[in-house]
Amino acid sequence: MRNVAIVGDGGHGKVIRELISARSDTRLAAVLDDKFSTFDAGRELYTGPSEAISEVRRLIPDVMFVIAIGNNSVRKQLAERLELYKEDFITLIHPSAIISKSAVIGEGTVIMAGAIIQADVRIGAHCIINTGAIAEHDNQIGDFVHLSPRATLSGGIAVQEGAHVGTGASVIPQITIGSWSIVGAGSAVIRSIPDGVTAVGTPARVISSIQT
């Protein structure tokens, strides 16, 4: 049984808690969030601020971590600030997800209930593949990407670092979604999207740049 500590205790954290409980090989051992002012070594669940990572590692044998933050940029900031090694992060896949044996999935990534990952898909680190999302064959998905519920990527798509594909959006084959761009919910992407923009509609059109 693998002990897991999650960093983040908001809505996304609730879903990851249930993902952990749905698996037979993981147990929730700690929840770290800066809403906790002090570290509490409870009987079954440790809680505390994110800076309590050293205490968690000392008290819980072989603990692994996952960042339970839905915002892509905040998730990246935390991954850098926590100063953990790649090997310290667990990849969590819901038992009901369908994952090709040829898919490669990075550390810290979570794949939610009903998601489908097809042949030769490459998914980076600390991604969220949300409920019922589909990544068809040969997709290349960068670090810190979020595919929202029911988002559908057809074959041969590149989704670059930090991009967010909204709920129910669909993307035709051989498209690139630029880094840190947002595709709005329900959009149909038929042309590549540049870096750092918001695109919405059917077909999706760029409506604004994202300030960084």
* Residues designated as active site: 137
Q: Rounded to an integer, what distance in angstroms lies between the CA atom of residue 200 and that of residue 169?
A: 9
Cα 36 to its chain centre, rounded Å, is 23
- For residue 53, what is the enclosing H or E element? helix 53-59
Taking a C-beta distance cutoff of 8 angstroms, is the pair 154, 160 a contact? no
Q: Rounded to an integer, what distance in angstroms lies between the CA atom of residue 129 and that of residue 111?
A: 5
Pairing relation of β-strands 46-48 and 40-41?
Answer: antiparallel
